[in-house]
Amino acid sequence: MKKFLMLATVGALSLSYAGAALAQMDHAAMKPASVMVGGAAMSASKTIVENAANSKDHTTLVAAVKAAGLVDTLSGAGPFTVFAPTNAAFAKLPAGTVETLVKPESKATLTKILTYHVVAGRLTAADIAANAKAHGGKATLTTVQGETLTVSKAGMGWAITDAKGGKSMITIADVPQSNGVIHVVDTVLMP
């Protein structure tokens, strides 16, 4: 019985000290660290375009957004959820595709492809998971382009299936932006 009382006293003192230590912590230090994308810290106070421009992995996407004339839209209030393909995702396209798409005469096609990566509203990974759970394991998201994307669990991550049956994986989820959220993807989605 004495052992039990001594252990209980030691345990209570430990909890007391831990509580005091937590109370003295700088609450600013408890904020989550910035998400790193393409070697840059993404700032929740910057827009989708501002953050993407800082990512060395999204230079092709930024050039495409500029060529399509979507900078002002994606810098606007939103909120938007953007499935942001990396440079490596664009490199998977057939040779010459990107070069053709950024030409002025391809603006309509480029705009259609880029807006197919955008969903109105701020959808976190938890929101997408809840939507999928409520619909038999698949979330169907309507893009601002007008067609749908299907998101489903794939191993430990989430796969996005486009209108043509192509698949892309979310590689970095929940990158907060002042006007929405970005989910980095490894393949360009095709309407």
Look over the chain and give the mean of its residue pLDDT values, rounded to a whole number. Answer: 81
Adjacent-strand bridge partners of 82 = 118, 182
For residues 82 and 117, is the Cβ–Cβ distance under 8 A? yes
Q: Is the peptide bond before 79 cis (omega within 30 degrees of 0)?
A: yes
pLDDT in tens, 136-154: 999 999 999 999 999 999 9
Residue 39 has pLDDT above 90, yes or no: no
Residue 33 has pLDDT above 60, yes or no: no
For residues 170 and 85, is the Cβ–Cβ distance under 8 A? no
Residue 134 has pLDDT above 90, yes or no: yes
Per-residue confidence band for 24, with pLDDT thresholds at 50, 70 and 90 = very low
- Give the Cβ contact number of residue 155 at 10 Å: 7
pLDDT of residue 175: 87
pLDDT in tens, 86-132: 999 999 999 999 999 999 999 999 999 999 999 999 999 999 999 99
- Residue 118 gets which letter from DSSP? E
**For residue 164, with 0-12 CB atoms within 10 Å meaning exposed, 13-18 middle and 19 or more buried, which class applies?**
exposed
**For residue 40, with 0-12 CB atoms within 10 Å meaning exposed, 13-18 middle and 19 or more buried, which class applies?**
middle
3 CB-near residues (< 8 Å, 6+ apart): none
For residues 182 and 47, is the Cβ–Cβ distance under 8 A? no
Highest average pLDDT, of 54-58, 84-88, 178-182, comes from 84-88
Residue 13 has pLDDT above 80, yes or no: no
Distance CA 12, CA 118 (A): 52
